[in-house]
Structure 1
Amino acid sequence: MLPIARFLEFTQRNKLFLKPEKVLLAVSGGRDSVLMAHLFNEAKLNFGIAHCNFGLRGKESDDDETFVRELASAFNVPFITVRFATAAFAEENRISIQMAARELRYNWFEEMRIQYGYQYIAVAHHQSDATETILLNLVRGTGISGLHGIRPKRINIIRPLLFLSSEEIKEHVSSNNIQFREDSSNSSVKYARNKIRLNVIPHLRELNPGLDETFASNSRRFEDIEEFLNIHAGSLRRTLFEAGKQGETYIPIGKLKALTPLKLLLFELFKPYNFEEPVLDDLVQAWDGQSGKKFESPTHTLLLDRQQLILKSNERPETHEVLIEEHENAIQWKHLYFKSRYETTHGLTIPTRHDIAFFDADLLQFPLKLRLWKKGDFFYPFGMKGKKKVSDLFTSLKLSLFSKENVPVLENGNGDILWIVGFRTDDRYKITPPTNRVFILENLNTHEQQGHVYRETIPRKRL
Structure 2
Amino acid sequence: MVDKLKIQIADQFPFLDNKKLLLATSGGLDSMVMAHLFQQLHHDIALAHCNFQLRGVESFGDQKFVQDFADTNKIPVYVTQFDTLAFAKDYKLSTQVAARDLRYNWFYELLESENFDYILTAHHADDNIETFLINLSRGTGLEGLTGIPAENGNIIRPLLAFSRDEIAQYAHDHGIEWREDSSNASEKYLRNKIRHDLVPLLKELNPQFISSFQKTQSYLQQSEAMVEDASIMVYQQVVRQEEDEIYIDLKQLLRLPNYKSYLYQWLKEFQFSAWDDVYNLVDSLSGKQVYSSNFRLIKDRDFLILSPINFEEQQQEYLISQGVQDVKIPLKLSFCKVNDISVSANTAIFVDEDKLDYPLILRKWQEGDVFQPFGMEGKSKKLSKFFKDEKFSLLEKENCWILCSGEAVVWIVGYRQDERFKIQSTTQNILKIDLQ
Question: Structure 1 length normalisation: TM-score?
Answer: 0.63
Alpha-carbon distance in structure 1 between the residues aligned to 2:245 and 2:41: 55
Structure 1 position 313 matched with structure 2 position 307: yes
Count of aligned pairs between the two proteins: 310
The answer for the alignment partner of 2:191 in structure 1 is 193
Structure 1 position 211 matched with structure 2 position 197: no
Alpha-carbon distance in structure 2 between the residues aligned to 1:291 and 1:144: 31
How do 1:73-222 and structure 2 match up within 5 A?
73-222=71-220
The answer for the alignment partner of 2:369 in structure 1 is none
Matched residue of 1:304: which SS? strand
Alignment equivalent of 1:28, drawn from 26, 29, 42: 26
Residue 192 of structure 2 aligns with an amino acid whose one-letter code is N
Alpha-carbon distance in structure 2 between the residues aligned to 1:91 and 1:28: 23
Is the contact between residue 279 and residue 296 of structure 1 (CA under 8 Å) also seen in structure 2? no
Is the contact between residue 245 and residue 308 of structure 2 (CA under 8 Å) also seen in structure 1? no
Alignment equivalent of 1:256, drawn from 253, 257, 261: 253
Alpha-carbon distance in structure 2 between the residues aligned to 1:302 and 1:66: 51
Q: Which runs of 4+ in 1 moved over 6 A?
A: none
Alpha-carbon distance in structure 1 between the residues aligned to 2:27 and 2:167: 14
Cα displacement (A) at 1:299: 4.3
Alignment equivalent of 2:266, drawn from 266, 269, 279: 269
Alignment equivalent of 2:289, drawn from 283, 288, 294: 294
| CA deviation string 1:233-276 (max 9, x = no partner) | 111111112456x7655444233222122322232233355444
Residue 133 of structure 2 aligns with an amino acid whose one-letter code is L
The answer for the alignment partner of 1:55 in structure 2 is 53
Alpha-carbon distance in structure 2 between the residues aligned to 1:250 and 1:109: 38
The answer for the alignment partner of 1:345 in structure 2 is none
The answer for the alignment partner of 2:416 in structure 1 is none
Alignment equivalent of 1:232, drawn from 230, 233, 236: 230
Residue 200 of structure 1 aligns with an amino acid whose one-letter code is L
The answer for the alignment partner of 1:439 in structure 2 is none
Alpha-carbon distance in structure 1 between the residues aligned to 2:35 and 2:54: 24
Alignment equivalent of 1:66, drawn from 60, 64, 67: 64
Matched residue of 1:29: which SS? coil
The verdict on how the C-alpha distance between 1:104 and 1:294 changes in structure 2, with shifts beyond 3 A counting, is closer
How do 1:349-388 and structure 2 match up within 5 A?
none
Alpha-carbon distance in structure 2 between the residues aligned to 1:198 and 1:36: 23
Alpha-carbon distance in structure 1 between the residues aligned to 2:270 and 2:86: 34
The verdict on how the C-alpha distance between 1:65 and 1:262 changes in structure 2, with shifts beyond 3 A counting, is same
Alpha-carbon distance in structure 1 between the residues aligned to 2:309 and 2:54: 41
Alpha-carbon distance in structure 2 between the residues aligned to 1:64 and 1:274: 36
Cα displacement (A) at 1:183: 1.2
The answer for the alignment partner of 2:299 in structure 1 is 304
Alpha-carbon distance in structure 1 between the residues aligned to 2:231 and 2:184: 41
Is the contact between residue 131 and residue 147 of structure 2 (CA under 8 Å) also seen in structure 1? yes
Matched residue of 1:227: which SS? helix
Residue 163 of structure 2 aligns with an amino acid whose one-letter code is S
Alpha-carbon distance in structure 2 between the residues aligned to 1:19 and 1:201: 35
RMSD: 2.2
The answer for the alignment partner of 1:430 in structure 2 is none
Alpha-carbon distance in structure 1 between the residues aligned to 2:108 and 2:181: 24
The answer for the alignment partner of 1:18 in structure 2 is 16
Alpha-carbon distance in structure 1 between the residues aligned to 2:33 and 2:88: 30
Alpha-carbon distance in structure 1 between the residues aligned to 2:107 and 2:55: 21
| CA deviation string 1:163-222 (max 9, x = no partner) | 210011111111222111111111111212111111211111122222222222222222
Alpha-carbon distance in structure 2 between the residues aligned to 1:79 and 1:301: 45
Residue 66 of structure 2 aligns with an amino acid whose one-letter code is V
5+ residue gaps, structure 2, are 313-436
| CA deviation string 1:321-356 (max 9, x = no partner) | xxxxxxxxxxxxxxxxxxxxxxxxxxxxxxxxxxxx
Alpha-carbon distance in structure 2 between the residues aligned to 1:273 and 1:26: 30
Residue 146 of structure 2 aligns with an amino acid whose one-letter code is H
Residue 108 of structure 1 aligns with an amino acid whose one-letter code is W
Alpha-carbon distance in structure 2 between the residues aligned to 1:91 and 1:298: 19
Alpha-carbon distance in structure 1 between the residues aligned to 2:227 and 2:258: 12
The verdict on how the C-alpha distance between 1:4 and 1:263 changes in structure 2, with shifts beyond 3 A counting, is same
The answer for the alignment partner of 2:359 in structure 1 is none
Is the contact between residue 14 and residue 152 of structure 1 (CA under 8 Å) also seen in structure 2? no
Percent of pairs identical after alignment? Answer: 39
Alignment equivalent of 2:221, drawn from 211, 220, 223: 223
Is the contact between residue 90 and residue 96 of structure 1 (CA under 8 Å) also seen in structure 2? yes
| CA deviation string 1:364-384 (max 9, x = no partner) | xxxxxxxxxxxxxxxxxxxxx
Alpha-carbon distance in structure 2 between the residues aligned to 1:98 and 1:302: 31
Matched residue of 2:47: which SS? strand
Question: Structure 2 length normalisation: TM-score?
Answer: 0.67
Look at both structures and tell me which one has the larger radius of gyration over its CA atoms: 2
The verdict on how the C-alpha distance between 1:5 and 1:234 changes in structure 2, with shifts beyond 3 A counting, is same
Alpha-carbon distance in structure 2 between the residues aligned to 1:176 and 1:238: 55
The verdict on how the C-alpha distance between 1:112 and 1:250 changes in structure 2, with shifts beyond 3 A counting, is closer
Structure 1 position 241 matched with structure 2 position 242: no
Residue 63 of structure 1 aligns with an amino acid whose one-letter code is G
